[in-house]
Chains A and B, each alone.
Chain A
Amino acid sequence: DAGVIQSPRHEVTEMGQEVTLRCKPISGHDYLFWYRQTMMRGLELLIYFNNNVPIDDSGMPEDRFSAKMPNASFSTLKIQPSEPRDSAVYFCASSFTGNEKLFFGSGTQLSVL
């Protein structure tokens, strides 16, 4: 198994631009999580899905952030418009019912200039 796949690995954009981060969970996993990591705030849970349905989005910082999971094998996290304070590493993770372990991707390093 290839594990959780995130793309792009690095993203550099200018303030005000739309940014889309992508995630492919491990096949068969029914939970998907988006985390953000910064030096100041550590690892923060943004949102998680179960069977493609958002369960808890209380960690999403503001309306500029949105996440979708159109099917079991794909999810996106979109930031529109992006701001410099959004610069961080964004991780996607997946799990499956009864397992309780999170499997993380390699992350997307986002820099907003």
Chain B
Amino acid sequence: DAKTTQPPSMDCAEGRAANLPCNHSTISGNEYVYWYRQIHSQGPQYIIHGLKNNETNEMASLIITEDRKSSTLILPHATLRDTAVYYCIVIIWRTYKYIFGTGTRLKVLA
């Protein structure tokens, strides 16, 4: 599975968009990009995933570059409850072997 690189931490002002980058330069054609987050002491929570097209759901948007070597998770209007560790994972469809890296610790500031 391709490895991912994320900044260890980021801050974002409440109400502003939070843009979390992820580098996955060794991604292969059949690997999807998944994002999860973990709020302190809870189990990780699924956010969104995509293959090559941009995706949006009620939680966030996922922008994948055309060469698929990087992606950005966008929380359009961050709230204090979005403070969490965000994990970017690449995985072959239906292999289920999710490997979580160290993630990005996002702190939303009031």
Contact = CB atoms under 8 A, between A and B. Distances in A.
B29 interface: no
Number of chain B interface residues as a range: 20 to 34
A105 B43 contact: yes
Contacts, number: 51
A102 B36 contact: yes
Q: Is the interface of A mostly helix, strand, loop or mixed?
A: strand
A43 B94 contact: no
Contacts of A50: 96
Nearest to A42: B102
Contact of B43 (A45, A91, A95, A97): A91
Interface stretch (B15-23, B44-52, B58-66): B44-52
A104 B44 contact: yes
Contacts of B93: 100
A93 B101 contact: no
Interface in B59-76: none
Given A93-B44, A101-B49, 10 more contacts: A4-B43, A31-B96, A35-B100, A42-B103, A45-B100, A48-B97, A55-B96, A100-B32, A104-B45, A107-B41
